[in-house]
Structure 1
Amino acid sequence: MDATQPAFPVYHRKFGNPAPLGLMAFGGTTFVLSLYNYQVRGIKTPNVITGLGLFLGGLCQLIAGIQEWAGGNTFGGTAFCTYGGFWLSFGYIYVPHSGILKAYEGKTDELNQALGIYLVSWGIITLIFLISLHRSSVALVATFFLLMVTFWVLAASHFTQRLGTQKGGGVLGIITAFFAWYTALATLLTKDTSYFLLPVGDLSGGQTN
């Protein structure tokens, strides 16, 4: 029995691996937004990303991050909660009651400059995460490297307001999403659940923490 809750038996629970949830959520939102940035099928208004960003990219990654922290994974907890915050903040921009876009009505250039600075900050954050991944895996390093470049290119597209640059960022985002999905699938496929495994390119040197 737990001394603080004497009526309840003690259970020693073990969390499942939350990384696939975080990676799938990140990949899903990144993929859709990147298609919009490329203006696939003539889509120029990205507001549909609001719900996806708030709930899949935002909420699901926060859940995954909290579980990572509970499991003792500082990097996983920090990364998933941070990018969960990214998607929540990005989605909130397009919520009408936020008043954010309304504040920039008639100020298209100022809005683009503001969004460019916003994306630059995320490029720097991603660079910090990338530096801390040198003993992880090739798959994860590739995902964060591509994400960092995507942020830089999209920031440049807002600063210059060039459609070609925006579409380039869209292509990079699509590739980033597939790397995230690949890493998620590789994490889901274990010797207990699958007849095959996917290589991720272990960079740990065979050492474990």
Structure 2
Amino acid sequence: MSTNTNNVKITNADPSAIGLFGLAMVTLVASSQKLGLTTGVSFIIPWAIFLGAFAQLFAAINDSKRNNTFGTTAFGGYAFFWFAVAFSWMIKLGVFGQNMVNDIDSKQLGFAFLGYLIFTIFMTIGAMETHKVLFTIFFLIDFLFLGLTLSSFDIAYEITHKIAAFAELGISIVSFYGSAAAVLNEHFGKEFLPVGKPFGIFK
């Protein structure tokens, strides 16, 4: 009887490009409302669910297959954030009935944003040892959640709301660049778009 075994290695494509594209799209649309360029959130909801949530969840699942704990946690964490935000907006719009609208306390979102600020801070430390484009994205996300947290608690609302708005737009711009770099660098087999070396502080 033969006891030979064959090991099959399955290689998955880097999912960070689609994850960053999803992040870039949803923050572009959402920041337009915070900056006063558009009004309402009804047309942000589909982008929050499909680009902010599902695209990043897809990236998280595929990063887990690559044994990438950091990528899985980052994309997964923010995917579920956008699911929760989309449902929060739907509650506020009355999709689930007036009783839920009447029961809203926006400070609860403030505590949720505070939790994500804590999450993002330690993820920012991890991003320092990936590359500088990713670090920049996380650094801007820190300011987004700082602004969202403070504005939700009505602390210097005008200023903190603006901080969140401009940080979100910055996230979109840098994420588009990061997505492009992930696609084109792999496609051309060289550093077509530089992303910057890790800081090298912790490794």
TM range (shorter): 0.7 to 0.9
Select 1:134's aligned residue among 128, 134, 151: 128
CA shift in 2, pair 1:147/1:102, >3 Å: farther
Q: Which residue of 2 aligns with 1:47?
A: 42
Q: Which runs of 5 or more structure 1 residues have no equivalent in the other structure?
A: 1-9
Alpha-carbon shift at residue 13 of structure 1 (Å): 3.8
One-letter amino acid of the structure 2 residue matched with residue 159 of structure 1: F
One-letter amino acid of the structure 2 residue matched with residue 193 of structure 1: F
Alpha-carbon shift at residue 40 of structure 1 (Å): 0.9
- Does 1:33 pair with 2:30? yes
Alpha-carbon shift at residue 74 of structure 1 (Å): 1.1
One-letter amino acid of the structure 2 residue matched with residue 142 of structure 1: T
Select 1:89's aligned residue among 71, 84, 87: 84
Q: In percent, how many aligned pairs have the same letter?
A: 24
CA shift in 2, pair 1:192/1:153, >3 Å: closer
1:102-121 pair list within 5 angstroms? 102-105=99-102, 111-121=105-115
Select 1:14's aligned residue among 3, 8, 11: 11
Question: Mean Cα displacement is larger for which, 146-155 or 163-172?
Answer: 163-172
Root mean square deviation, CA, Å: 2.6
Alpha-carbon shift at residue 30 of structure 1 (Å): 1.3
Q: Which residue of 2 aligns with 1:125?
A: 119
Q: Which residue of 2 aligns with 1:167?
A: 162
Q: What is the TM-score when the length of structure 1 is the normalising length? A: 0.81
Partner Cα separation in structure 1 for residue 150 and residue 118 of structure 2: 14
Question: Mean Cα displacement is larger for which, 21-30 or 46-55?
Answer: 46-55
Partner Cα separation in structure 1 for residue 99 and residue 118 of structure 2: 28
Q: Secondary structure at the match of 1:95?
A: helix
Q: Secondary structure at the match of 2:185?
A: coil
Q: Which residue of 2 aligns with 1:7?
A: none
Question: Mean Cα displacement is larger for which, 86-95 or 186-195?
Answer: 186-195
Per-residue deviation, residues 109-167 of structure 1 (Å, max 9, x unmatched): x6331221121111111012112223111111111011011111121112117244313
Q: Deviating runs (4+, > 4 A) in structure 1?
A: none
Q: Secondary structure at the match of 1:124?
A: helix
CA shift in 2, pair 1:78/1:114, >3 Å: same
Partner Cα separation in structure 2 for residue 138 and residue 38 of structure 1: 26
How many pairs align?
192
Partner Cα separation in structure 1 for residue 161 and residue 98 of structure 2: 19
Q: What is the TM-score when the length of structure 2 is the normalising length? A: 0.83
Q: Which runs of 5 or more structure 2 residues have no equivalent in the other structure?
A: 1-6
Q: Which residue of 2 aligns with 1:5?
A: none
